[in-house]
Structure 1
Amino acid sequence: MHVYAGGQGEVTVVLASGWGTANPYVDFYPLYEKLAPHVKFAVYDRFGYGYSDTTDKKRDIDTIAGEIHEALQASGQKPPYVLAAHSLGSLETLRFAQKYPDEVKGIVMLDAGSPEFYYNDTFDSAGGFLNKLLIKTGVIRLLFHSQAVIDNSRASRNGLKFVPDELKQIDLTGALLKLQNANMDDELRQARSNAKIVLDDKKPFDLPLTVLTSDYSGVADEDWARYEKEFTSWSSQAKQVVIKDSEHYIHQYRPDLVADEILAVVKR
């Protein structure tokens, strides 16, 4: 497993990427210079992502949380941790806090789904036969010779507006190398069962929890909005903040606000 770390301070912010985000290092780039003067930060690549290998181990949530803990220790990171998770990264983040409570001082969710959402919702765990065919035959790689296709693939991430061109190329290369590999597939396949494991161990945390929710440019889904509001039940010190004029990758739209909310949890 690969860990990228930087910054300075007594607290380490651990950044967990969402499902299918091929290069977490690039994805969280807009936050680094805003966090680095105040805290240490660490971005880990789960197996199947970024610079990490793939693994034969099933992607059950206890295995993932244990791998994260081991990777942080082996790379020299030290608690206390503030955990910041995007999207499906919420499950491993909550499980980490359940398994290693003495190491966690706060949690920030970046438009991340609650365990209740992932348990009750349904996912296309196989990714679709046509999509698999396009990947295995190389058609996807051929399509990505088109700048229009590349731009379209980045649209949900604000066009990677705050990411330099050389890192955009790294992101593209990573996406093509990691295209829906077995580890990514198994993560999605196990999302519901992983959510149940976390839910079965639910006890409200006695630590700060900030739930940052995108307003989806004013057209948010009602079910998602309800689950996001209810996500605050996971802590006795919780709050929700709706980030205006953003989409799912809120840290690519408003890195300033996201960093401020992370640092606010650090200071509490």
Structure 2
Amino acid sequence: MMKKILSILLKIVGAIVILITLFIATVFIVNIFSNKSEEAKIKPYGQLVAVDGKNMNVFIQGKGEETVVLLPGYGTPAPALDFKPLIEELSPFYKVVVIEPFGYGLSDVTEKERTTENMVSEIHEALQQLNIHRYTLMGHSISGIYGLDYVNKYPNEVSAFVGIDSSVPTQGGNDAPFPTKTYKLLKKSGFYRLLMKLAPDQLIAPEVDDETREQIRILSLKNTFNPNNLNEGENFAPNFKATEKLTFPKELPVIFFLQANDTETKNWIPLHEEQVKNSVHGKVMTFEGGHYLHHTRSKEMVENFRKFMNEIK
């Protein structure tokens, strides 16, 4: 009797193991084929600029005399599409330039470390190639760190800095080890694709037409957890540390647009007020909304940015 029960149990366990193996193999194979088919569906936008022997994608809209350069938050899969509402509000007044750093959007992946120094240098080289020498830098999230380094390196080029819920070197919470192996496994196994399929609401995108949303989804699956994305995550702690002692140049106009109720970072608003306390032209404004304020508050941000710049003139 016991032998019979044991035999049945072993068959059940064996069947479960086979089913799990088949499931994992199916997820893996579906991901490989989906990656191939989706690659052909990517619709190019913007233009490619040669930077450090690679191609960096840059999107330009608007013909204003003054230029606004937009820099994305960490891991934004398609910056030029993510910034769409903001570009629409800015482009009637400015020449708007969206930089897609290496590993983002339609840009190449680079072998260079994703240090603040390298990323800032590459962004600057892209602007040099485009013959853009005077501009406002407008950065979302992590670009608050890169932007702070940038304005100190190229003070004669940047006419103002605008932070969209931008990171602060002293905000803390960046010391935890980055789970590179887990993220690599999620991407390679195809389980990241499966998670996206099961919970499509987790796709971060502004209100755009279905075609644009589909492009963001495809580029999200392509770029999330790619080598540059992971390496940038691994460099969080040293990158924040590298800018800890930096301050915005006193004469540089700086305005921050922040979410009013950030529950993740302690003293979010005071941290930004501290950043502009010595600025001749420094301002902090808050809006109801999430971290991606440019998805929902672009109109108000552009109105206030223009007013801010006009008052300085």
Confirm or deny a common fold (TM above 0.5). Answer: yes
| Equivalent residue in structure 1 for 2:242, among 197, 200, 221 | 197
Question: 2: CA distance between counterparts of 1:174 and 1:91?
Answer: 24
With structure 2 as the length reference, what TM-score do the two structures score?
0.75
Return 5+ residue gaps in structure 1 as ranges.
Answer: none
Question: 2: CA distance between counterparts of 1:127 and 1:237?
Answer: 40
Conservation of the 8 A alpha-carbon contact between 1:106 and 1:265:
no
Residue 287 of structure 2 is matched in structure 1 by 243
Judged with a 3 Å threshold, the aligned counterparts in structure 2 of structure 1 residues 52 and 86 are, in CA distance, closer, same or farther, namely: same
CA RMSD of aligned residues (A): 2.1
Question: 2: CA distance between counterparts of 1:261 and 1:203?
Answer: 20
1:73-222 matches, within 5 Å, as 73-76=128-131, 78-117=132-171, 120-127=172-179, 129-146=181-198, 149-154=199-204, 160-161=206-207, 163-202=208-247, 204-216=249-261, 221-222=265-266
Question: 1: CA distance between counterparts of 2:230 and 2:81?
Answer: 21
Residue 53 of structure 2 is matched in structure 1 by none
Name which one, 1 or 2, has greater alpha-carbon Rg. Answer: 2
1:64 and 2:105 correspond: no
Identity of matched residues, %: 31
Judged with a 3 Å threshold, the aligned counterparts in structure 2 of structure 1 residues 176 and 125 are, in CA distance, closer, same or farther, namely: farther
Return 5+ residue gaps in structure 2 as ranges.
Answer: 1-55
Question: 2: CA distance between counterparts of 1:125 and 1:175?
Answer: 23
Question: 2: CA distance between counterparts of 1:113 and 1:131?
Answer: 23
Deviation at 1:55, TM superposition (A): 0.5
Q: How many residues align?
A: 256
Question: 1: CA distance between counterparts of 2:161 and 2:298?
Answer: 17
Question: 2: CA distance between counterparts of 1:234 and 1:73?
Answer: 30
Judged with a 3 Å threshold, the aligned counterparts in structure 2 of structure 1 residues 72 and 260 are, in CA distance, closer, same or farther, namely: same
Residue 13 of structure 1 is matched in structure 2 by 68
The SS at the match of 1:260 is helix
The residue type equivalent to 1:51 in the other structure is L
Question: 1: CA distance between counterparts of 2:259 and 2:212?
Answer: 25
Question: 2: CA distance between counterparts of 1:33 and 1:219?
Answer: 30
Judged with a 3 Å threshold, the aligned counterparts in structure 2 of structure 1 residues 231 and 52 are, in CA distance, closer, same or farther, namely: same
